[in-house]
Amino acid sequence: MKERILKISWGLAVLLMLDLIKPFSYWLYTEFLFLGIIFLALNYPLRVSFMLACVFGYLRGCLSYPVSSLSLIEFALGVILVHYLRARFQQRAARIGIVFAMLAVHVGLNSAQRGGAATLFILLFFIHSFWVFVLLNYLFRKWTRVSLEEYI
Amino acid sequence: MYLPSKIRFKHASVLALFIFLLLLPFKDLIGNVFIFFSRQFLVIPRKISQKTETLKKKNLELILQLRAFKNLKEENERLRTALQFREERGADFIAAQVISFDPSSWRRIVAINVGTKQKIQPGLLAVDEEGYLVGKVIEAEAHYARVILIDDPDFSLPVFVGEDSFGLLKGTLKGARILYIENEELIKPNDEIWLRTPYSYSVIYAGQVKQVKRGKHSLFWEVQAKLFAKRPFLHTIYIVR
């Protein structure tokens, strides 16, 4: 378990770096760290995922301009919400719904904070984020050796 | 067995349609990545020589224009001296590398590797390598600064539209618009959106008018702007000092 926690921590650090350097500039509408937090919440126990979500939410907030605590609160509460939904809906298909729900919450919070966003932007954000999550989920599952019964 | 020869035509067409719809939201990204790599790796000698000829011709045209402008400048200076206007100077640019982006997709803010040591201060404009507006400096420390890009929702800048109108350029995440246009008759599609830098002759273009519209109960007209700056992969910007 310790090895898995260490690996996911490194993985989230890499995702935070990807968000900062944005290798595809603004042509890829997604936030890698947030997708990593969703993976973390879906595949790790509550205590571990809550702590890591708080740490990386705080780091992300510090690196934003202006410095904001929205990421810390959003990631922490998001992890709790995901665990609640996971306990409530056990089916595999429900987990895909949880991913979309988390994306919707993220879009709603950020759009409300910024005073709105273009419809096309939101639609592209959903589509790009979902497919990047599918890719990230596959890679992280292999790397952190999440078992077949556990993964989404 | 899923051999290609065993797949019926109707299944193949459905599969092709699915792949097309899957890739459709990523078309801008795929196009920019393809352009980036094709520029790096493809060498087409005939096109390069044609481009060289075109550039030589453009260079000559610019030399002739420069001579004409020099005469106009001297006349302008004589008139300014006569009318006692304040002194102006040419634009001074400093190249800056983009070192990081804001982690949020809802913000368009970048950090650059120049700061107050290079006389960067908040309010200075940023342009791309073609001289089109990309943003403005909002924060400057000793060795770095932050630039808000033109399509950030918090970006705003007074600009001129065409010859007779002016308004406030405001970012939206997919582009920009101009607010507080009083008279729609002074503006037509494809009019240029521009501004002047303080203390210099330089005119900086931001884009052109795409569409003019007004809400039902709104006092002012709103202009949808088409931005000139393309910035497929943002690496270097130029700060106008």
Q: Is the domain of B147 the same as that of B36?
A: no
Contact assignment for A27 to B29 by CB distance below 8 Å: yes
- Whether B191 is covered by a domain: the verdict is yes
**Domain around B16:** 9-41
Specify the higher pLDDT residue, B28 or A88.
A88
- Inter-CA distances, B97 with A6, A62, B23, B100, B120, Å: 33, 22, 32, 9, 14
In the predicted structure, residue A42 carries a pLDDT above the cut 60: yes
Mean pLDDT, chain B, whole residue set? 82
Q: A-chain residues within 8 Å CB-CB of B26?
A: 128, 131
Q: A-chain residues within 8 Å CB-CB of B108?
A: 26
- Whether B49 is covered by a domain: the verdict is no
Q: Does ipTM surpass 0.95 in this model?
A: no
Alpha carbon of A92: minimum distance to chain B alpha carbons (Å)? 22
Query: By the 8 A CB rule, do B159 and B144 touch?
Result: no
Residue-level pLDDT at B222:
85
Specify the higher pLDDT residue, A92 or B96.
B96
Residue-level pLDDT at A12:
95
Mean pLDDT of A24-47: 92
Domain residue ranges of chain A, discontinuous segments joined by +: 2-144
Of B32, B103, B172, the CB nearest to A31: B103
Q: B-chain residues within 8 Å CB-CB of A31?
A: 103-105
Mean pLDDT of A101-125: 89
Contact assignment for B139 to A65 by CB distance below 8 Å: yes
Domain count, chain B: 2
Of B103, B107, B138, the CB nearest to A20: B103
Residue-level pLDDT at B46:
66
Long-range contacts formed by A47-50: CB under 8 A, 24+ apart = A48/A5, A49/A79, A49/A82, A49/A83, A50/A76, A50/A79, A50/A80
Residue-level pLDDT at A98:
92
Q: Is the domain of B34 the same as that of B140?
A: no
- Whether B135 is covered by a domain: the verdict is yes
Interface residues from chain A to B (CB-CB < 8 Å): 16, 19-22, 24-31, 33, 60, 63-65, 110-111, 113-118, 120-121, 123-125, 127-128, 131
Q: Is the domain of B166 the same as that of B236?
A: yes
Contact assignment for A111 to B109 by CB distance below 8 Å: no
In the structure encoding, which two tokens stand for residue B92, read together?
A: 């001074």
Q: Give the pLDDT band of residue B88 (cuts 50, 70, 90).
A: low
At B123, which CATH number?
2.40.10.340
Mean pLDDT, chain A, whole residue set? 89
Contacts of B129 (CB under 8 A, 6+ apart): B236, B238
Q: Is the domain of B36 the same as that of B103?
A: no
Mean pLDDT of A36-43: 94
For tokens 């330089």, name the residue: B202
